[in-house]
Structure formats: structure tokens, C-alpha cells
Amino acid sequence: MTISQVKQTAKESLRGNWGIAIGIFVLAWLIETVASGVLSFIPFIGWIALFLLTGPLYVGVSWVYLAISRREQPEVAYMFSGFKEFGRTFLAYLLISIFIFLWSLLLIVPGIIKTYSYSQTFFILRDNPNISALDAITESRHMMNGHKGRLFGLSLTFLLWYLIPIAVGIVGSVIVFSGMASVSYTSDPTELISALAAGATFGGFVLMLVAGLISLGISLYVYPYLITSVAVFYDDLYAASEGIYVEETVIVEEEVDPFAQTEQDPFANDTHPEGFGPETTKEPETPKDENEPK
């Protein structure tokens, strides 16, 4: 499937399911925000607890969008299904985080590439209940061989939506830093330039807040659309890989079956010594009597 076909299929799957798709995103975002706000005040233990929460929750959310892409009707409670298989889901999330971090140490680009290599892991865990976390990561890496660029192109079409809030945020940041620098270099705080700088700083903060709100509003539409599209991409990739496997299997079977062309007796055309084999079934001719009437 082309990128446009993947997106069109995802949009058709979301038709009638936008309510639960957006609701799942908002609920997951609220849980993450509240949990990070509370647990961040607990050194070390709080960070571990947040990590334990994030992994299975993120996997469960991915499973919801996979179900939506398959025209199923998942319930909201399905987003917590990752906790029912906590061992596999958390270990997969942990290993992916570690692997991407280690690859990112080389430079940013290897980390991004590996992110796309491991992108199908959570879906594989959903379709293969008996597969281990490490095997799911390995299978995702094999599935994505030769397809990482296509998935990058798909995700890039969604990232372009964030160009506007990014631009607004950059402008706000520049104004904030410029205003703070002007205030810090002014000796007399009563001067007019200090008031203008303070106003500019406040305006910059407002722009940054607006950029965040715009980004959140865009995410309400983009995030469900993106993950559902990735789920459609996964199903298309899996179907293609299964088709190649079946075709190769048929070819191999045709090559290794020497008796597939005929069911006749393999000895039918053999030459037998006199007195043995099929030739002995023929009765000898009786010599004719010369006095027998014609």
C-alpha cells in the first residue's frame, strides 16, 4: 500500500470511532500528566514507578488503535489490557527504551533509525500471545528491513502539522530570552526599557503557552490518526510477508516432489529379463494345425 492508501484506510477505520480514539488519547495523556506530576516529587522510586506505569499503558493504547484499524469496537477499558500481560509489555518497553538510548549515544540518527526498526513490536505482542518481548523486537526488526523509509515518510506527513506551533513556540522563546536579557542589563529598573522588556517577556510566555495549546489541539486529531495509520501499515506489511512466505513454500514443494507429475507405476516402462515382470503376462501363441479348415 502507498502512503496515501494507508492514510485513507486509517481514516475509513476511524469513521464512527473518532470519539473513542480521541477519548483514549486524552485519558492516557491525563494519566501520564497527573502521575508524572505526583511521582516526580519522589526521587528515584517515583521515576521507577512512572516507568512501570508508562510501558503497559502505552502498549494498551497501541492495541486500542490496532483494534480500531481492523474495524473492531474496543472499549475504553481495553487500553489497560497491557497490565494483564505486564511481564511482556513492560519488558518490551524497557528493552526498546534501552536499545534506542544506546544507539542514540552514537548520534541522533542511529537512534531514530532503530525507533522505526522496533516500531511494530507492540502490535506483534498483541497478535502473538506466546512470543517473548525480545523475540517480538527481533521480529519487528526483520519485518522493517527495507520498509523503514516508507514508515518515515508516513510519519513525516503527520509531523508537518506541528510546523505552526513549533514556529510560534520559537518566536515566543526568542522574545522571552531577549526580554530577560534586556532587564538584566538595565541598571535602573524604573527606566522605560525595563517596562518594555518585562512586557515583551510576558508576551513571549503567552506565545509559548499558545503554542502548547495549539500543539495539544492538533494532537487530538493527529495522534489517533497517526497510530491507526501505523497499525494499518503493520497489517499490510504482515500480509505481504505472509504472501511471500506462502509463495516460496509452494515453489519449494514443486521442486522437491519428483512424483507429483504422474501416479502411474514407476516400473511400467522398465525392461525386464525374459520370464520376469510384465512381459510374462502375455500367453504364448499356439501353433496352428495345417489340416484345420480355414
Per-residue pLDDT reduced to its tens digit, 244-282: 444 444 444 444 444 444 444 444 444 444 444 444 444
User: Which residues are CB-neighbours of 134 under 8 A, at least 6 positions away?
Assistant: 91, 95
Residue 184 pLDDT class (50, 70, 90 cuts): low
Residue 187 pLDDT class (50, 70, 90 cuts): low
In 3-state terms the chain splits into helix, strand, coil percentages (rounded to 5) of 75, 0, 25
How much is the pLDDT for 192?
52
Q: 107-114: which pairs have CB atoms within 8 A and are 24 or more residues apart?
A: 113/148
Per-residue pLDDT reduced to its tens digit, 31-42: 999 998 888 788
- The closest alpha carbon to 224, from 10, 55, 6, belongs to 10
Residue 172 pLDDT class (50, 70, 90 cuts): confident
Per-residue pLDDT reduced to its tens digit, 106-158: 888 889 999 999 999 999 999 999 999 999 999 999 999 999 999 999 999 99
How much is the pLDDT for 182?
62
One-letter amino acid at 92 equals A
- Spatial distance between the Cα atoms of 21 and 225, rounded to a whole number of angstroms: 9
- The closest alpha carbon to 68, from 224, 239, 221, belongs to 224
More confident residue, 69 or 41: 69
Q: What is the average per-residue pLDDT within 164-193?
A: 71
Supply 246's cell numbers: 506462502
Distances (CA, A) of 188 to 105, 175, 179, 233: 47, 21, 15, 61
How much is the pLDDT for 188?
55
